[in-house]
Each structure stands twice: as C-alpha cells, then as structure tokens.
Structure 1
Amino acid sequence: QIVTNYLISNGVDEKKIAYWFDRRKENMDGISDNDNKVEFMLFKQAAGTGWDCPRASVLVMYREINSAQFHTQTLGRILRIADPKDKDTFKHSALLRTGFLFTNYKRNEVNVPDASSTNKPFVFSAENINGKDIVIDNNMKSDFISRLDYGDLGNAIAFQRSMRDSFDNFFGFTTEIMSPEEKHNKLKQRGVEINTHLINKIIVDAEFEDFDNINSDINTEGRDADFEVSNNDVEKTFTLLCQQLLKEQTEGDTRITNIARSWSPFKSSLRVWLLNSLEYESNTCYKIFINDILKGSNSAFRKVITKSLKDYHPILNHFMSKRKEEIMEREAEVFKIKRYYYYTDDFVLCPTKLCVLKDFYIEKEYTGKINEMEFIQFLEQKVDTLEWWFKNGDYGKDYFALKYFNTTKDKESLFYPDWIIKLKDNKIGIFDTKGGQTASSQETIEKAEALNKYIKQLNKIGGCEHEFIGGIVIKENEQWYYNDNSSYSYRQGKLDDWKLLVDLF
C-alpha cells in the first residue's frame, strides 16, 4: 500500500498499477501485450517463475531474497525481446538489450545473470507456421513433476489423529471414559513417572583459585543445589526436545527430513495428547514428558514416538498419493507448440523446409548433434508424406515431457522425446533418437517403455483425433530403425525386434 500511495502521489493512474500476490491479483489480464496500459506491477515472488512479459525492462527490488536462483530468474524477466518480429533491431540495439535494476542492495549482494547458457538473453525468435499456438491433439498432455514431498509430516490433522491412536494403543487407553487416576496408572505400568517437578542441579558456593586445575576442582568445590526449572525454560526445553526427537529418527519409515516444517505440528499433536491424557496444565504435562525423555533409552515416550511415526508412514504415503492425483488432474495441460520460441546466441539458424517453425535454430555444439542433423536430413526428404516435424527441447513447460521412473535416482523423472512429427495421413509420431552406448543404457530402457505405455494409452482413448506412433530410433547400416515394443532392448547388430522407420512414410 505504501508503494501504491507513492505512485499515485506522483501522478500514476491507479488503473496502470497491477498486483500479483498470493491473495490479490488485479489488472493482470493482458499485461504481456505490448499495447497494454499497465505500467507498474507490484509483486513479491510470483514474477520470479512462471511469468512472461517481454516488454518489462525495469526492476525495482527492495527486499531480502535468500535464493540466488530467484535473483537470476527475476532479472532475466527484463532481458526479453519485446517484439519477436523485430529481432534484428533488438540484436543491434544496446538500449533494447539493456534492463534497468534499482535496488538498495550493495553491489556485491546482487546476483546479476552470468554469461552461462541458462542466463544469456534471447537474441533470436522463431514463429510457427500457423502464427498461433498449435494444439496437436487435445488428448496429448504433457507431464510435469510438481513438488509433492517436502519431507514433512504432510497432513497435520491426520498426523494428530494417528499419533493419538498410536499413543492410546501403546499405553493401553481404551475408548471407554477413563479417570485421570486410571490413565496415570496405565502410564506408570509403562514406566512413566508422574513427576510434576523438573529439577536443574547447579553448583553453588564454589571458589576456584587456580584456573589450570578447574577441571579437577569442579568435582569437589562447592555444593550441588536443586532449582525448579522456570515455566519459560520448561516451554523452551519441550520445544527443543520435539525438534531433537524428530532428528533422532533414522529408520526409513520414521525419518523426517524436513524438521523445520515438521516440529511445530509434531509439538502440537504431542501437546494435545498430553493435555487430554494427563489432565494437568500444559507446563506440568511438559515436565512429566521431559523427565521421562531424560531417561534416554529407558524412556517410554521415546519408544511410542518412534512407533507412532511408523504407524503414520502408510497414512502419509496414501496422503501423498492422493495429493499427487489431485495436482495431476488440476494442472496437467494439453501440449501446445508455442507460437514463438526464443534462443540465445548459442544457437544458429539451420535452413529447413518441413520444420513446424519458420526458422529452425539449433545449438552450435552439443553431444549427439551429428546424429540429430542426419535425422533431420532424413525427415526433410519425406515431402510427400510428412506434414511437419518439431524438435523438442530438453526442459521446461514449453516442451513436451513424459514421466518415467528413474531407477538410478530412485524417483520419477521427466523424459523429453527428441521429435514430434505429423504425417499427412493424420498420424502423430513421438520419437527419440539414440546412438552408440546410450541406446542400450538402463535410462533408455526406462524411457522407451514409458513412451510405449503413453502411446498405447493415447490410442485407447475413444474419439482420439489421431493415431499415435513412436519409439526409440537408431541408425545402423545407413538406415533408420525404430523400436516400439512394450519391452525394450538393443544390441548392436541385433535388430530382429526393430522396424525400418522408412516404412512409416
């Protein structure tokens, strides 16, 4: 509001101010259009990712930013080509290629984009042949991997219920109404002492004359005195123990990796159970709990905490699975070949006739380029049967991706097939070219079988607009072969399960 008031006081029309916050989005419609009337956009983190407004050229950054990646991503937003059709003017105009940053950070605290390929400004653009986004098929959706597992407890309410059930079962609490005395007796049977005092021993009246001998004198000088720990220190100790107890868990089905996100709901759940079970005020409950935990391996609460985390593990897995399904259903998008693609000066123009982009740019140097250029030459010869081909990218939501399980990393990963082609008989092909040892790697096996499964699923959909084909492609004996089998394998010179690609054309 302070910034808004400042802008208005300096003559800025409020209609020319846009807001992009979690709970407030105003005047954002059409903001990327070059003729849009909005001149200022206020944001926190939203513009760092998933936002594209090439006409933006000035950034005012007055806030603490902890991630260097956020710096470079956000600064990259003011280094775009405002009008892709005018790329030559952009390339030769220093003013158009310049972004302006105003900040109260010191020079050495600002991470300016470096000269690496991920941070270079775009200097080339390519428009597709239709002059608008191309939807290949409404059933052809591109996968993504959303961050689902934050290493925390997931659903706090579900955890609280699970902890309650685990604790009640461990201590023998029944569903019937039990008196406080009955509950205390059950706790005592498990070795929990109902000790409502938390004592801290300190040394008093000790005098040390020789500092060099303090290590030995400390055991004999003065006397021990017991002091009741203050309520404030009891609360602090309980909180620290909640964090420490989570850190101590090492087994796979009890280990919590994100302590920072987990200790608070863990503490809250534990507090609720203690209050309901002991029926004392909170600090007295904490004292009983702390005294038991200080027994180390003999602590009953240590045992039940580990048990409760194990009991919750399948519930957490189910919760994560449901969250994944909901996100996939909500966010999966039909893949589109964008109207424009942008490139840095690491790319060079390559003349083609059948590429879906009017100008095809390819990286100057990369592993596998020779193989891919030979494949382009093969496609370019199929004028009679091939409508167009598209060279897919390696990352990002602007390109087509499939999920597969990467056994090496033991997690889901994204696979970006190299090529999408459209034949004049209405078939859509999704292919990935390989060469040498990569064709027989475990990663290629996993990608090939994921692609085969995806194509089969598309072809089973009723009313699908196209027939889909595809697989892994290799070149042997100066001919291109493809493998579309459910179970993929490759050995050089052994191509019994492979088919000639030319037969598809």
Structure 2
Amino acid sequence: MKLKDFQLDAVKSLFESMDEPNRDIILKSPTGSGKTIILTYFMHQYIQSYSKTVFVWLTPGKGNLEEQSKEKMDKYIHASQTKLLSDVMTSGFEENDSVFINWEKLTKKGNNALKDSERTNFLEHIQHALNDGLRFVIIVDESHQNNTVKADELIQYFHTNKIIRCSATPKGIKNAVVIEIPEEEVIAAGLIKKVLVINENFPQTVETENQTSFLLERAYAKQRELRAEFAKIGKDINPLMIVQIPDKSQLLQDEVERWFESQGINYENQLLAVWLDNKHENLEYITNPNAKQVALIIKQAVATGWDCPRAQILVKLRENMDETFEIQTIGRIRRMPEAKHYENMLLDSCYLYTLDGKFTAGVKMSLGKNALDAYTVFLKNEYKGIALTGERRTMVISTRNPKRALLAVAKYFENEYGTGSNKFENKTRLQAKGFVFNEEIVNQTYSGETSTLDFKSTDMNAIAVTEKLNTHKHGRDYHNRIGKIGLEIGMEYSYMNTIIRKLFDANFSYSRKILALSPREVYSFVLNNDVRLKNAVREAMAAEIAQLQLDLPAVSEFVFHIPQSEIFTYDSSAKTQVEMKRNVYQNYLSSAEPRSSAERKFEKYCEHCNSVAWWYKNGDKGNEYLSIVYRDNSGKQKLFYPDYILGVGDEIWIIETKGGFDRNGNSQDIDIFSPKKFDVLKAYLDKNHLNGGFVRNDNKSDELCICTNIYSDDINGNDWILLSKLLP
C-alpha cells in the first residue's frame, strides 16, 4: 500500500493529535480521499508503537459498512488483528485488536442483533478489557450520521479519552482538534475527478413528455461516449451509470427497468444491476474497472461507504432528501478508476443528470466551483492553426522513492561523516560525531536543586540511565521511532525500516552498507540515535532534491494548440447569458464559471476592445493547456498557467489577471508567487517574441491597468499604465 503525500501528512497529524489534551479529533476528508487507507495505516502504526491499545471503529447501520471497512484493513494491512461484533462476543477484546462494529446493532430500538442478555455481556467484555489495562481508542465513521444520544451513550461505556470522528460533512464538536484534508489536495493527487458537470448540453428550457426517458437518454449517451474515449487511450474501463430512484416508488422503478430493456440492457444479460432493500441482482464484480454492468439502480442503501471507482454518471430521480446525504451520494461518482487523472477533461469529470432544482442547488452550494452547469463548445475553424511553445517540468522528483532515498541517505553519510567500505572505521567516525553505540538502551535524566519550576537542564547534572534491551518491549519503541523518522519525510514505515536495515543490519545486503550490526544491535542503535538519524534522513532528502535540480534540465518544451473542444462550465442562474463573439469558441457565454472578478472584467474588456481580434481563456491545470515552469521559494518546480491568450493584430499577447488595488492603493492580490510568475512570464515573452503582462483593476478609478516591464505593488507608480492605452 503506497500512500499519497496528503495521506501521509494526515497520518502524521493524527499521531500528533493523540498527544494533545483534547478528547475529540475530527478528520474532515472529502469522499474519495482514501479515508479508510489513512485510518487503517494510522491504526496499524499506532498499535505497533503503543501497547495495550484497542481500536473500536463504529459505523452507521446501512450497507454492512463495518464488514467493508474490516475487509479493507485486512487487504491493506497484512496480518492485521481485525474483528467484528460477533468475534468480540466470542472472545472479547484483546491487545492490538481493531474491532469494526455497526453501532446500530447495539443501540437501535427493536434491533434483535443483540438480546438484552447479550448486550449486558458486551458491556462485560468492555469492563474485562479495562480491568486488563487495555485502552480504547474510538473511531466514529460517518460521524454526521452517528451524532445521537444513544451513540454517545455507547461511546461512554469504553471510558476512552480519544475519539476520532470522520466525515466529509462533519457536524460541530466543541474543543476538537480538526484535521482537514483540502479537496484541492485530493484532486491534485488524482484520486477524485476535477469537476462535476451538471446537466451537460441541456436546453435553456426543457420540454419533454417523459422526464425519466429524457434524463436516461442523455446519461446513456454520455456513458457510451466515455466508454469510447477510454478505449481510444487504450483503457478497458466501462463507466457505470447510477440511477437513483425514490423510496416506495415501484412504478418509477418499473419505468426505469423498461427503458433499459428497450436499449437491450436487462438483468438477464447482466448489463443492469440493482441494489435495493428487497432486491439485489448482478452486484458481483461490479466494482471491477471493466465489469459488464452498464447501470445500477439504487435507492438509499448504497450511498454510504460503497466504493466503485468506475462509477462516473449519476441520474437522480429522487426528491426531498437531506442535503448531507445527497453530497455523500455524489461522492460515489467522484473517484478516479485508476486513482489518477488522464489529463482529458471528458474522462477527468463526472456527470449528473437531474431535473431536481433543489438537489442541484444543494450540490452547487457544497461543491462550489467543482459543480457547474456545462455543455461542449467547439473551436472556430480560423483559430485551429494557432501554435505556441509551452513548457513542462522534466524533473519528475519523488523524494519518497525508496531506492533513491536509500542511495541519498548512504551518500549523505559518506559526505557528512566520511563513511566508506570499512565498517570498523565507519563506527569510529560515527562515534566521534556523537552517535551512541551501546547494547543497552540509554536515556538521560537530570539531578540537582532548584527553587523554581522554571529551570534549565544545563544548570543540572546529566545522568545516563541504561536499561537492558528487551526485544518485546523495545520492539514497539523501535517501530515507533522508525515510523516517526519515516513520517518526517513522508516515507511509509516498511520502506523506512528497509532503508535502515540495508544501511546498518549485517543480514541485509547493500553495496554501500555503513555498519554490520546484529538485529539486536540495530534496535539499540536506532533507539539510542533516533534524533541523529531523523536529522540525517531529513538532510539527505534535501541534499537529494538539490542534486537532482542541478543534474537535470529545468524544462522541456512542447507545441501548444488551443484544444479543439472544451467542456464549458457556466452559471445557468445568471441574469445575463450573452454569447461572447470574440472568444475562440462558439457559444462562449458571459456567465462562464469559475471566474474571479478580475477575469470577468477582463473578458468583458476583450469583448468590447477594438484592438482584440480574438481571445482564449487558458485552463489552470493539465497537459492540454499552455504552461510555463517556475520555482517556488524552496526551489521546487511548479507550473504556471497564464490566464489569457489574445490576438492583437498580427501579434499574440499573453495576460495574467490578479487581484486589484483598493481605493487606497493597497494590493488585494493574495498570490505570494506573483513576482516570481511575472518574472518568468516576462522571460518567456522575451524569448518567444510575444507581448503581454499582468492586469489588475484599480478600484479607485475602476480601470484595468497593465504591468509589462517591472513588477510592482505600487499602482501609483510608472510601472502600471491604463490597459486602454496599450489595447484601445
């Protein structure tokens, strides 16, 4: 199991939060962010590091979520000690257990999963565990559905001092440590789709005799289009349509089934699946990328916890649902089938078809710029020949590549400590640099006198406390230290442990081995030198990045053409829907979204400027758009996507818009990299004999101003001139 950077950061934050005095920890993670992977990895690491721990994972009652979560942990974490409620009723709680329980089986009135005598027995199992010195850590999954009095009563029985509450839509818990995974990070990592397209290519006014057929026809056409596009790029992926119908609506269910039958999609040929309370058909293997099922009919049960990454289209025929639950349903179609983007907006988007205005309003409110009305626009013929030189990064650096990290740490020890092939000399050199070599575990305390509690350790006598190595007891400590060294650089425990073993353990072969210690000696070496090792590994990673930046060329160039077609997203509720004739695409509207206020004003300016023959709004990520390479403050390469490309006579201009200046001349630009981006844009323009600059609005005069030569935050200086003087 390889975690993404943001997932490792979340694990690190969970570890840190466990040391805080707050009882409640809220993990707010978007659907599709790999919450189960994050938590199971954290649970495994924590149990390995801290004895007498039992995790109890409470899930809501729908969809057998506790069994799904247990299965995922068994899959991700080999040799994990997982249990269900039935296992606890048989054998009780034991050290290192990760127990998955459907909390409604214990709390819901009329639920016969546990009789009164069994419920008492369950509480006795908790008490036995507490008497044995076990410590419970509670995880409340989908916490927005578990925030009830009865659920809280159940949690109290465990006498826990740590509760981790997880949800994409958490409800407020006072005095909680909040760990929030930004949706942008999950999208950037390629785990979820870039945008939700709502009612693509719908007319302004829908007139139809049958709403169900109207929606299903468009959704099925999109399914076939996506299937063909996947095939075009060599992927055997069959996008799944999810059709959600209201509860207690047998007539609508029959209508949906008849429509699919008319298309040759039915239960008999296994192209149609159903997941309802009273009907389950063709669900086997449905989550496989190339599974044959084209569509799945659902009501409510599938909305929580179900994971089918090939699901990409939702037809929503349901009304009057709780908005929180609706967003959970949308999450079912947001995952990427291979946990990566294809840099193809058709495939990197998911699609909603519905005539439920209340639902679309709720989705837009929740997802904001990631949920918009849309249709396809096509490039006008006269602009198909436009070509520019774009830049891409050639440094595809992963400091968490285990082989590269191993080599980097070995080189760091050679450069910093002078280590070589002679293991005896290496030990002497490391001792001289402060590394401790002792078969026993050495800790330090202090003795002396002080009249206040505010004293410095340097004023006291340092005392070394040695303890004989116990592989059972200190094995946990070793695991904990290795895990923390790894988390410091975003490296998983197993990889970090292998690096340490290859460098220092005699039983592991490696050409640049530093020491040849016995396994027991490795334990002592790591525990006695964990701070030095952590610093060395961190410094090694920094040195590796610097070296790679020196060794590799900065950029590679490519030929950029304006994309032939685009999914145009817009705000259908805007009062004005004027077509902007000078845009390179047909039917580009003034209500285009998402747009900043500066972008909206600039687009209006271009549309009415006599000097501008045509203009194009560039995308903000993806290989299909014009990009320029720059470095952030740490030297890391990033891609800069200028906002606009203009045709001005025979010249091409490239423009970046930024936040303006208030009436007092203060900058409203929140991009800290603006000066760097300006410099790299100017260098690019000079190199390619183009024109352009940065455009910002002066609120005092309500005029757009442009900077083309030297970047400045002083709107009153000579570096900013009226845009109308350059482009009248």
Q: Calculate the TM-score normalised by the size of structure 2.
A: 0.41
- Map 1:273-422 onto structure 2 (within 5 A): 285-291=518-524, 299=528, 301-302=529-530, 305-306=533-534, 308-309=536-537, 312-319=540-547, 321=549, 325=553, 328-329=555-556, 333-344=558-569, 346-347=571-572, 349-363=577-591, 369=597, 372=599, 374-383=601-610, 385-394=611-620, 397-402=623-628, 416-422=641-647
Q: 1:161 maps to what in 2?
A: 410
Contact (CA 8 Å) 2:569, 2:594: kept in 1 or not? Answer: no
Matched residues in 2 for 1:277 and 1:395: separation? 44
Shift in CA distance, 425/113, structure 1 to aligned 2, threshold 3 Å: same
Match of 2:482 among 242, 254, 267: 242
Deviation string 1:317-357 (CA, Å, 9 cap, x unpaired) is: 2245369857x53xx65443222222346246422332111
- 1:504/1:304 Cα in 2 relative to 1: closer, same or farther (>3 Å)? closer
In 2, are the aligned partners of 1:168 and 1:174 still within 8 Å (CA)? no
- One-letter amino acid matched to 2:215: A
After TM superposition, give the deviation of residue 94 of structure 1 in Å: 0.6
- Residue segments in structure 1 that go unaligned for 5+ positions in a row: 1-44, 46-61, 199-225, 248-254
Change in Cα spacing, 1:184 to 1:146, as seen in structure 2 (3 Å) is closer
Q: Comparing both chains, which one has the higher relative contact order based on Cα–Cα distances under 8 Å and sequence gaps of 6 or more?
A: 1
In structure 2, how many angstroms separate the alpha carbons of the residues matched to 1:244 and 1:136? 52
**Separation in 2 of the partners of 1:373 and 1:228?**
68
Question: Amino acid of the residue matched to residue 137 of structure 1?
Answer: A
Match for 1:95 among 211, 216, 233? 216
Task: Report the number of matched residues.
Answer: 376
Looking at structure 1, the residues matched to 629 and 406 of structure 2 have their Cα atoms a distance apart, in angstroms, of 31
Q: Distance in 2 between matches of 1:352 and 1:191?
A: 69
Distance 1:151 1:142 in 2: 25
Contact 1:421–1:428 (Cα < 8 Å) also in 2: yes
Letter aligned with residue 481 of structure 1: C
The Cα shift of 1:303 comes to 6.3
SS of the residue aligned with 1:421?
Answer: strand
Aligned-pair distance for 1:155? 1.3
Residue 100 of structure 1: how far off its partner (Å): 1.5
Query: SS at 1:73's partner residue?
Result: coil
CA contact (8 A) 1:390 1:420 kept: yes
Alignment of 1:46-65 (within 5 A): none
Q: Which amino acid aligns with 1:339?
A: Q
Q: 1:423 aligns to what?
A: 648
Distance 1:136 1:143, change over 3 A: farther
- The CA distance in 1 between the partners of 2:502 and 2:620, in whole Å, is 44
1:456 aligns with one of 672, 683, 697: 683
- Offset at 1:262? 4.8
Offset at residue 488 of structure 1 (A):
1.7
Deviations 1:50-90, CA, capped at 9 Å, x for gaps:
xxxxxxxxxxxx9969998778539969x896xx7x97899
Whether the 8 Å contact between 1:388 and 1:423 is mirrored in structure 2 is yes
1:355 aligns to what SS in structure 2?
A: coil
What secondary structure is seen at the aligned counterpart in 2 of 1:488?
coil
Quickly say closer, same or farther: Cα 1:95–1:479, change in 2 above 3 A.
Answer: same
Q: SS at 2:388's partner residue?
A: coil
Q: Distance between the aligned counterparts of 1:377 and 1:389, measured in 2?
A: 11
1:258: Cα distance to partner?
3.6
Matching residue of 1:264: 497
Q: Is the 8 A contact 2:478 2:526 kept in 1?
A: no
State the distance in 2 between where 1:187 and 1:144 align.
39
Output the amino acid matched with 1:469. G
1:271-300 deviations in whole A, cap 9, x for unaligned? 3578767656xxxx1212334555xxxx3x
Match of 1:50 in 2: none
- 2:46 is matched with none
- Picking from 329, 333, 346, the partner of 1:112 is 329
Return the offset for 1:422. Answer: 0.7
Superposed displacement of residue 405, structure 1 = 6.1
SS at match of 1:496: coil
Distance 2:639 2:429 in 1: 52
- CA distance in 2 between counterparts of 1:411 and 1:423 reads 34
- Cα deviation, 1:15-34, whole Å, max 9, x if unaligned, reads xxxxxxxxxxxxxxxxxxxx
- 2-structure distance, mates of 1:451, 1:150: 29
- Offset at residue 482 of structure 1 (A): 1.5
For 1:467, the equivalent position in structure 2 comes to 690
Cα root mean square deviation, aligned: 5.2
Structure 1 residue aligned with 2:109: none
Counterpart residue identity of residue 567, structure 2: Y
Instruction: Rate the CA distance shift 1:454–1:118 in 2: closer, same or farther, 3 A.
Output: closer
Quickly say closer, same or farther: Cα 1:88–1:322, change in 2 above 3 A: farther
Aligned with 1:109: secondary structure?
A: coil
Cα deviation, 1:388-427, whole Å, max 9, x if unaligned, reads 01234555555445556677x9977665544321112223
Which residue number corresponds to residue 124 of structure 1?
A: 375
Change (3 A) 1:264 1:346: farther
Q: Distance in 1 between matches of 2:602 and 2:431?
A: 76
Q: Which has the larger radius of gyration?
A: 1
Alpha-carbon distance between aligned partners in 1 of 2:647 and 2:660, rounded to the nearest angstrom: 23
Query: Does residue 496 of structure 1 match 2:718?
Result: yes
Aligned 1:208-247 pairs, distance under 5 A = 239=479, 241-244=481-484, 246=486
- Give, in angstroms, the shift of residue 460 of structure 1: 2.5
1:90-147 CA distance string (max 9 Å, x none): 997311343624646944213532623455475422212128x8464332x1667998
1:138: which partner in 2?
Answer: 388
Residue identity over aligned pairs, in percent, reads 15
Specify whether residues 484 and 449 from structure 1 end up closer, same or farther in structure 2 by C-alpha distance, changes over 3 A only: farther
Q: TM-score, normalised by structure 1?
A: 0.56
CA distance in 1, matches of 2:392, 2:701: 35
Q: Which residue of 2 aligns with 1:206?
A: none
Q: Give 1:477 deviation, angstroms.
A: 4.3
